Amino acid sequence: MRTFGVEEEFLLINPLLLCPEAAADAVLLAAGSSGLMRECKQEQIETGTEPQVSLTALSADIRRQRATADEAAARIGVRIAALATSPTETSTELSADPRYLKMQDRFGLTLRDQLTCGCHVHVAVESDEEGVAILDRIRVWLPVLSALSTNSPFWKSEDSGYASYRTQAWSRWPTAGVYEVFGSAAAYHDLVETLIASEVPIDRGQIYFDARLSARHPTVEVRVADVCLRADDAVLQAALARALVETAAREWTHGVAPIPMPAAQLRLAA
């Protein structure tokens, strides 16, 4: 059974005013060595599970990580909120990191507006070749995972008309969204190198495909889901993502070609 894990991003909310609060640095200090991670905005925080094999263990880890983040937030007077966008309009504060400052300089309003929280599922793969074969075969199903996770109907105090406005806001990044069939690991890496050479994305971390090879782990990273309100729904996302990865790997092994659906059509599905 393939190992899998989940990264979740959360808003930091003032429990009295019910609006995001720039408190990430203080929360990280309160959390100590718990493994919480900084995001680009001070109004959010990220958690990450350990690689797990069973759904039961992953569920327990997700709940433990959520509790750890909320306890650290509560120590400095805020709480975490599992919402993929803020229901209320708010100004945001950039985290003090040279990478984020460079992104601010290059992307302007796109970054200043950016306050979205996703759920990223990592599933182990044996090689880049297997990983890209999987990416080619799961792409047609990613809009379904997105639809199952929708948790961001509001944007700047308005009903956006979308169940997941995070998907709309995130699509403003030039490398975000659906992708064509790559065909091989070499073709995948060539495209990434071409994108980096364009000097639009500042680094490989900004290759925001809906699913990608992780730059840090030997995994396929499925990135389409909103952060889920309930831990059970995050577990479901992980279970479905792993099932898709395993099915795609078996199809590749048996010579089943990817479904040749154009990216333009997948954008409509998304």
Give the angle 139-145-151 at the CA atoms, nearest 5°.
140
What's residue 33's pLDDT? 82
The pLDDT, as a whole number, for residue 178 is: 96
Straight-line distance from the first to the last Cα atom of the chain, in angstroms, rounded to the nearest whole number: 29
209 and 263 Cβ atoms separated by less than 8 Å? no
| pLDDT band at residue 34 using 50, 70 and 90 as cut-offs | confident
Residues 209, 212, 217: CA angle, nearest 5 degrees: 140
pLDDT, tens digit, 9 for 90 and up, residues 245-257: 999 999 999 999 9
54 has pLDDT over 90: yes
For the chain, give the percent of residues with pLDDT over 70: 100
171-199 per-residue burial string, b: 16 or more CB within 10 A, e: under 16:
eebebbbbbebbeebeebeeebeebbeee
CATH fold, domain 4-269, is Creatine Kinase; Chain A, domain 2 (3.30.590)
Phi, psi of 100 (to 5 degrees): -70, -35
Q: What is the pLDDT of residues 134-165, one digit of tens each?
A: 999 999 999 999 999 999 999 999 999 999 99
Query: How many helices, marked H, and strands, marked E, lie in the chain?
Result: 10, 10
The model carries a pTM of 0.96
Give every CB contact of residue 129 below 8 A, 6+ residues apart in sequence.
184, 185
Reported as a single tens digit per residue, the pLDDT across 82-121 is 999 999 988 999 999 999 999 999 999 999 999 999 999 9
Q: What is the DSSP letter of 9?
A: E
How far is it, in rounded angstroms, from Cα 33 to Cα 46?
14
For the stretch 170-195, pLDDT in tens is: 999 999 999 999 999 999 999 999 99
